[in-house]
Amino acid sequence: MPEQSTAFRRFQGVSFGKNVQILGLANVAIGQGSAIGDDTWINVCDRDDRLRLVIGQRVLVGRQSMISAGGELEIGDFCLFAPRVFVSDADHVVDNISRPYSEQGFTRGKVVVEENCWLGINTVITGSITVGRGCVVAANAVVTRDVPPFSVVAGVPAVILKMFNPATNAWEHVRTPEDSERIAAARTVHGLPSREEYRFILHRTSKVGHLSPLLVGSGQCL
């Protein structure tokens, strides 16, 4: 991909697949060891002098994904995106039905996907929300509100199916409000690692310093 190499040289230690497009290059940061899959679109709506879209270290963005920032968007270290994941804090303004929606501007929110989240194929993360660290989002889920750390969610709109209980050191099903309250109480007593603590744990236990370029495509074979 010789036409991409000059622009992408600013992202040292990052692997790119074919046909990756970044709009708002100056507003984007991607951490070392990350890999961006074939045909991914990364977009910043407001191309000013601010850093608006940050992808952490050792993040895998699957093929044909779209990440779009209107206000601020952050993806934490070690996140794992399947193909065709959509993450955006922006939406079109549709206040005036007599004017083309494409000409009415866009909303500016803030999306944070914290460290070590696994987003399944066709996942949608949209709005102004936080997906807590260590979360798992099932395939085809649409997430429109905050998700507590270390939760498993699924559905349209997404609901919590499991939460990690530090008292039992296990993922437990959430079938009733009482289940959620019980696990939340255990979390209050036993605690969960903060983002900083969890990031330190992940970097300490990780054995892979750089995701393989084979993961992003580029017509390569193993």
- Mean pLDDT to the nearest integer, 115-138: 97
The percent of residues above 70 in pLDDT, for the chain, comes to: 95
In the chain, where the domains are located: 2-216
Query: What confidence tier does 222 reach under pLDDT thresholds 50, 70, 90?
Result: low
**Residue type (1 letter), 10:** R
Whether residue 58 has pLDDT greater than 60:
yes
- Measured CA to CA, the distance from residue 156 to residue 138 in angstroms comes to 10
Q: Give burial (CB, 10 Å; 0-12/13-18/19+) of 221.
A: exposed
**Can you tell me whether residue 172 is helix, strand or coil?**
strand
Whether 98 contacts 84, CB under 8 Å: no
The single residue of 92, 173, 190, 203 carrying the catalytic annotation is 92
Query: What confidence tier does 3 reach under pLDDT thresholds 50, 70, 90?
Result: very low
At 66 the pLDDT is 97
Catalytic site includes residue 203: no
DSSP 102: G
- Reported as type and span, the H/E element at residue 188 is helix 177-190
- Measured CA to CA, the distance from residue 78 to residue 61 in angstroms comes to 10
Question: What's the CATH code, domain 2-216?
Answer: 2.160.10.10
- Measured CA to CA, the distance from residue 40 to residue 23 in angstroms comes to 11
Mean model confidence pLDDT for the chain: 93
User: Considering only CA atoms, which of 4, 179, 37 is closest in space to residue 119?
Assistant: 37
pTM of the model: 0.91
At 108 the pLDDT is 87
User: Considering only CA atoms, which of 6, 4, 2, 10 is closest in space to residue 26?
Assistant: 10
Number of C-beta neighbours around residue 35 at 10 A: 22
